[in-house]
């Protein structure tokens, strides 16, 4: 029995020795396999390359932006046009009314030739031909005094986002507003609605019932939309909000949707002061 145990122990030792020698002799190969597995799973070299590339790109972008800022600063120092724009922008920041701010904005747009851009109706951001034809149709119906046809045309044809009228690119270039064609279109729509409300009907047509007009204006209100004002934030932003609300009220442009909000905001500012 003891001999069998001894024999088994010798065999175990021999196997352990052989396995250890085999592992030691194959350590380089195991290292290579481990490296291959690590490269396949984690890809450290590729990640490092991408990280270095991202750092280089970010550094390059920052450098380019700093160079552009320096070039603009130098241009402002040596260009009379840039100095004039900078002075007008400074006057805008201290303006006391919307009218004063708008007059300064018109001067800036004139220096930057943005007023010519506003006057030119040609633009790929909106459908100029369709807007112009729609305006001609409104004018033609009002000249004829055909209120019924004008109501039918307005009910199914006006919307603020039609023909590209709300494209953000139209509101980013000039300080005074988008293309003049866009402003003229909205002014003409308002004039058409006023004409439906107060204009005389044709001799051959009977008077339009009041309930029919009310139904028409309710439908148009949903189609054309209503302007709403949302003043988010609080604390020091409340002072800016008061200025915005004050200017809108002075120009009779404060939306009805925000009146309660503005009253609450004014009370909060008064309590704070």
Contact 196, 151 (CB under 8 A): yes
Percent of the chain with pLDDT over 70: 71
pLDDT digits (tens, 9 = 90+) for 129-172: 999 999 999 999 888 888 888 888 888 778 777 888 888 888 88
CA atoms within 13 A on the CB side of 110: 8
Mean pLDDT value of segment 25-35? 63
Higher pLDDT, 226 or 89: 89
Q: What is the pLDDT of residues 220-234, one digit of tens each?
A: 887 777 777 777 766
Domain map of the chain by residue range?
79-112, 119-224, 237-272
pLDDT at 264 over 70: no
CA distance 176 to 184: 14
Angstrom distance (rounded) from CA 168 to CA 33 = 57
Q: Residue 22: its pLDDT value, please?
A: 62
pLDDT in tens, 192-227: 989 988 877 766 666 778 888 888 888 888 777 777
pLDDT reported for residue 136: 92
- pLDDT band for 181, please (50, 70, 90 cuts): very high
């Amino acid at each position: 029995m003891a001999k069998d145990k001894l024999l088994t122990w010798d065999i175990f030792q021999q196997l352990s020795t052989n396995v250890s020698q085999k592992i030691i002799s194959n350590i380089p190969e195991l290292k290579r396999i481990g490296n291959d597995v690590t490269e396949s799973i984690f890809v450290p070299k590729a990640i490092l390359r991408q990280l270095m590339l991202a750092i280089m790109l970010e550094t390059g972008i920052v450098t380019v932006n700093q160079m552009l800022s320096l070039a603009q600063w130098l241009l402002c120092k040596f260009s009379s046009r840039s100095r004039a724009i900078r002075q007008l922008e400074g006057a805008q920041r201290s303006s006391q009314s919307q009218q004063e701010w708008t007059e300064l904005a018109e001067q800036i747009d004139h220096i930057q030739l943005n007023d010519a851009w506003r006057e030119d109706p040609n633009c790929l951001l909106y459908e100029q031909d369709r807007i112009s034809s729609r305006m001609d149709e409104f004018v033609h119906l009002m000249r004829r005094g055909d209120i019924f046809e004008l109501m039918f045309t307005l009910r199914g044809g006006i919307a603020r986002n039609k023909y590209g009228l709300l494209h953000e690119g139209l509101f980013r270039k000039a300080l005074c507003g988008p293309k003049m064609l866009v402003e003229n279109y909205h002014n003409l729509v308002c004039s058409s609605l006023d004409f439906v409300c107060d204009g005389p009907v044709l001799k051959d047509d009977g008077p339009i019932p009041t309930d029919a007009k009310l139904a028409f204006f309710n439908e148009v209100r949903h189609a054309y939309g209503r302007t709403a004002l949302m003043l988010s934030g609080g604390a020091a932003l409340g002072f800016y909000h008061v200025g915005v609300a004050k200017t809108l009220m002075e120009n009779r442009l404060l939306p009805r949707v925000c009146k309660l909000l503005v009253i609450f905001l004014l009370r909060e500012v008064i309590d704070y002061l």
